[in-house]
Structure 1
Amino acid sequence: MCSGSFAKCLGITLIPLAIVCVLCNILLFFPGGKSVESEHITEQVWYFGGILGSGVLMIFPALVFLGLKNNDCCGCCGNESCGRRFAMLSSILFAAVGVVGAGYSVIVSAVAINRGPECVIFKNGSDTVWDYPFSNGDYLSNQTAWSACLEPGNVVSWHLSLFSVLLVMGLIQIALCAVQVINGLLGALCGDCCGCCGGSDGAV
């Protein structure tokens, strides 16, 4: 398979992943599926890890990867001024942008999962306040502790599920962009289609 075709496959894969991340981040603004005042939304949601990191920043490398296959794979193999190798090399820079964006989303998600959601809890016996009842991820292995969150309903599972999706999607995006770094290097070294270029070089 030509490196341009492979890059296009990566781009096609990255786009739905980016959309999923944006949707997850938007849903996190409605803890437990309910509308709450902005000051009661978990702090890490406002870092926009899914919208900016794994979403907007991921669209740029995805579009670049999709465009690498627009031209004929072998049409420029014998042309010294051909820009195909440079295009593959430049795709590495956009892949790096993707890694940074997805990495940001992964870090934000990991911190959010470790800290837990903001919710209504009992304080001083009968008073209720908005606070972060969990620390250091101790609630992850102790689901009975989730009952400390009185409202919104199911906020812990909502928070944990969506940030876990963002974490996994971010790791997948990092892996795909890393693969494109290798693919871009191969495309820059031997041309967009190694077998075809090899045939042309042999004919010169």
Structure 2
Amino acid sequence: MCTGSCAKCLGGTLIPLTVCGFLANILLFFPGGKVIDNNDHLSNEVWYFGGILGNGVLMIFPALVFLGLKNNDCCGCCGNESCGKRFAMFTSTIFAVIGVLGAGYSFIISAVSINRGPKCLVAKNGTWSYPFQDGDYLGNNDLWTRCLEPVDVVPWHLTLFSILLIIGAVQILICAIQVINGLLGTLCGDCQCCGCCQGDGPV
């Protein structure tokens, strides 16, 4: 596969992942599917916006850059060592690194939050805290009863942050592939780009 086509494929894959990460982070503001009357009752990691910033905003730019690489017309510069296509592929590696950093940020936030567990009401006198220690609730569902409110906050918290964790890991992989793909495109050019001018002219 040509480097431009590969980049377009990677960019197309990033778009739905970006949307899913954004939506998952939004849903975290409604623990258990309920509206919280006090924002202090939300887990701290929700406010770090891992899905909105890391999986979302910082991933939009790489995705758009990757999608646009295939459409760049470089046939007029075939045979030129400083072909604009090569520069575009090099630029894509920079955006890919930004994507790795954004996805890595979300991945770390999600891992920390999964290990820590949700913030919830743990006593009828109105005490809100983090009742779990070092992920002990992950292998013992009986501990989930420590959270009195919001209802179903533990599976809600665990599911959404797990989604963000997986999305972050996949995005890191995709952006890492584009770093390699972009470097190959910088050194070798796009095979279709240079091949379209070998002959009578572009088709």
The unaligned stretches of length 5 or more in structure 1 are: none
Partner of 2:139: 141
| Identity rate, percent | 66
For the residue of structure 2 that corresponds to 1:139, the secondary structure is: helix
Q: Is the 8 A contact 2:75 2:197 kept in 1?
A: no
Deviations 1:125-155 (A, max 9, x none): x634111100110110001000110111100
Partner of 1:116: 117
The unaligned stretches of length 5 or more in structure 2 are: 199-203
Partner of 1:17: 17
Q: Which amino acid aligns with 1:16?
A: P
Rounded to whole Å, the distance in 2 between the matches of 1:188 and 1:198 is 18
TM-score (normalised: structure 1)? 0.91
Partner of 2:172: 174
Q: Which amino acid aligns with 1:49?
A: G
Deviations 1:50-95 (A, max 9, x none): 0001100000100110110112465532234421101101110000
Partner of 1:131: 129
TM-score (normalised: structure 2)? 0.92
The RMSD of aligned alpha carbons is 1.8
Rounded to whole Å, the distance in 2 between the matches of 1:153 and 1:93 is 44
1:156 aligns with 2:157: no
Q: CA deviation at 1:197?
A: 5.1
1:65 aligns with 2:66: yes
Partner of 1:94: 95
Q: Which amino acid aligns with 2:102?
A: G
